[in-house]
Structure 1
Amino acid sequence: MVRPPLSGVERERGERLGVLLRQARGERSMAQIAAIAGVSTETLRKIETGRVPTPAFFTVVALAAALDLSLDAVANASLGDEAGPALSA
């Protein structure tokens, strides 16, 4: 099965997610956060740089928990202007 190419909106959403995770990580190392989340350092690197713009849900959940971010904060930051009234409240 061939996966259809991502749209520009999907790529931008992934970039916003990466920026959020990088900012939340602060001075902590990628290795430290990746270990806490149970993902590889390379996976975290790819997400932070936007090379994996649509990471698996449970990967995002694990990273959010490791960084003490709520899923609402992750969704709002990732969606940006796409967030409707339900998520922006």
Structure 2
Amino acid sequence: MEVAASAGLSAETLRKIETGRAPTPAFFTVSALAVALGLSLDEVAQTCVLVPLAPV
């Protein structure tokens, strides 16, 4: 996987993120993927879906 290698991640880590098995990747991981894909963190944030917290 070219994107994973470019971001300095293993293909398995990227696969886990893509399939939801790693639902909350670390900030460094998100940042590295953004750089590898030519995106700014602002662009990434604009496309994120906020999930409301469950009531306590």
> Normalization by structure 1: what TM-score?
0.53
Paired residue for 2:23, among 53, 65, 80? 53
Equivalent residue for 2:45? Answer: 75
Q: 1 or 2, which has the higher helix percentage?
A: 1
Identity of aligned residues (%): 67
Cα distance in 1 for residues equivalent to 2:40 and 2:18: 17
Gaps of 5+ in 2: none
* Structure having the higher Rg: 1
Q: Secondary structure at the match of 1:79?
A: coil
- 1:79 positional shift: 3.1
CA offsets per residue over residues 14-71 of structure 1, 9 Å max, x none? xxxxxxxxxxxxxxxxx11111100000110111111111100001000000000110
Equivalent residue for 1:39? Answer: 9
The letter of the residue matching 2:42 is: D
Gaps of 5+ in 1: 1-30, 83-89
State the structure with bigger RCO (CA 8 A, min sep 6), 1 or 2. 1
Aligned length: 52
> Normalization by structure 2: what TM-score?
0.80
Name segments (4+ residues, structure 1) moved above 4 Å. none
Q: Secondary structure at the match of 1:55?
A: coil
